[in-house]
Amino acid sequence: MTAAPVISCKNVWKIFGADPEGYLQKMPQDHSFDDIRADGYIAGVKDVSIEVNKGEMLVIMGLSGSGKSTLVRCFSRLHDITGGTIEVDGQDIMKLSEKELIELRRNKMGMVFQSFGLLPHRTVLDNVAFPLEMRGQDKHERRARALEVVKLVGLEGREDYFPRELSGGQQQRVGIARSLAIEPDIWFLDEPFSALDPLIRREMQDEFLRLQQMLNKTIVFITHDFDEALRLADRIAIMKDGAVEQCDTPDQIVLHPATEYVRKFTEEIDKARVIHAETLVQSGDHGSGDPVDAAATVKEMAKLLVQDTRDVIPVARDGVVIGGLHRQDALGILLGAE
């Protein structure tokens, strides 16, 4: 039996304007983003249906103004939606009272934004403990928890530093530690690394992947950087004009773009470093000889693909053969053939 999604978003609209609810009720079904704008409204989110599963990292990406941040703010009801439904752990969040909503955010949701939002007059430890203080937690308990997550994000020894004494990457680690302090089940991150220089950004991505491997959170991560999305995502949702153009695994998005927009979005990507052996498995002939690992990318298999003479190469996951890939298909991807 498939587990219920942690977040379930069905036919969600977020329209900005004078009377969004009234406008949505009378709006023609085939109205485009530009038609809506011509009527004096903005469709921040346009008829989006999407689910986020437990332990999954869903990366939402798109150009500036595509609606990605608006959608995530709807997930936590920082924006009230205009139409549709959003459920978090089976609860319709639009039906929650203000008190229930605050409890949901305090106890289940952690948020990290592009701006670090640290309190300049508080030390690292006090910044991290701040949400626990707001929750009314005992001073000794919140200090113990803050020390624990400061160590987790690699800032042990800097507990008494002030934000001005930290680098940009260290400040972002404090922001991540602060959001982890409440032990959220769901973690929202809105372009958390975009203000960092490329080297620190890469280090933060590595650190983030390490944390996710340890903590197994349900994560919605916003970025406009496709390389970052490919490194981090279990699935990627690409947005344009408030709508989701495609939501799928990185392999499927670069291999089978659903729309012309997605194709253009991904056309510069080196497919060989994205597509894994498992994605190329076909039923029927499993081939023979030594298998390749299901998690290996086409790029990682390059030497084998060029030197091997087998038509079909077995693919194994955890030592068990799950099928075979056609060598010519993988070579086509490696050499950039359409």
In a domain, residue 128? The reply is: yes
Cβ neighbours, 10 Å, residue 163: 19
In a domain, residue 4? The reply is: no
Q: What pLDDT is recorded for position 261?
A: 94
In a domain, residue 290? The reply is: yes
My answer on whether 251 and 316 are in the same domain is no
In a domain, residue 305? The reply is: yes
**79-135, pLDDT tens digit by residue?**
999 999 999 999 999 999 999 999 898 889 988 877 667 899 999 999 999 988 888
My answer on whether 112 and 258 are in the same domain is yes
Domain count, the chain: 2
Distance CA 292, CA 276 (A): 10
My answer on whether 200 and 294 are in the same domain is no
**236-275, pLDDT tens digit by residue?**
999 999 999 999 999 999 999 999 999 998 888 899 999 9
Whether residue 152 is predicted with pLDDT greater than 80 in this model: the reply is: yes
**33-65, pLDDT tens digit by residue?**
999 999 999 999 999 999 999 999 999 999 889
Q: What pLDDT is recorded for position 116?
A: 67
My answer on whether 242 and 284 are in the same domain is no
In a domain, residue 46? The reply is: no
My answer on whether 258 and 312 are in the same domain is no
Structural domain that includes position 240: 55-77+99-269
Whether 4 and 212 have beta carbons less than 8 Å apart is answered as no
Mean pLDDT of 191-196: 81
My answer on whether 279 and 240 are in the same domain is no
My answer on whether 211 and 294 are in the same domain is no
Reported as a pLDDT band with limits 50, 70 and 90, residue 176 is confident
- Of 212, 239, 269, the last residue of a domain is 269
- Of 250, 269, 288, the last residue of a domain is 269
Q: What pLDDT is recorded for position 183?
A: 83
My answer on whether 304 and 226 are in the same domain is no
**pLDDT > 90: what percent of the chain?**
70
Distance CA 242, CA 292 (A): 41
Whether residue 2 is predicted with pLDDT greater than 70 in this model: the reply is: no
How much is the mean pLDDT over the chain? 92
- Of 244, 269, 294, the last residue of a domain is 269
My answer on whether 105 and 240 are in the same domain is yes
My answer on whether 327 and 226 are in the same domain is no
Reported as a pLDDT band with limits 50, 70 and 90, residue 337 is low
Dihedral angle over CA of 194, 296, 6, 149, nearest 10: -60
Amino acid identity of 154? G
Q: What pLDDT is recorded for position 182?
A: 84
My answer on whether 206 and 279 are in the same domain is no
My answer on whether 285 and 260 are in the same domain is no
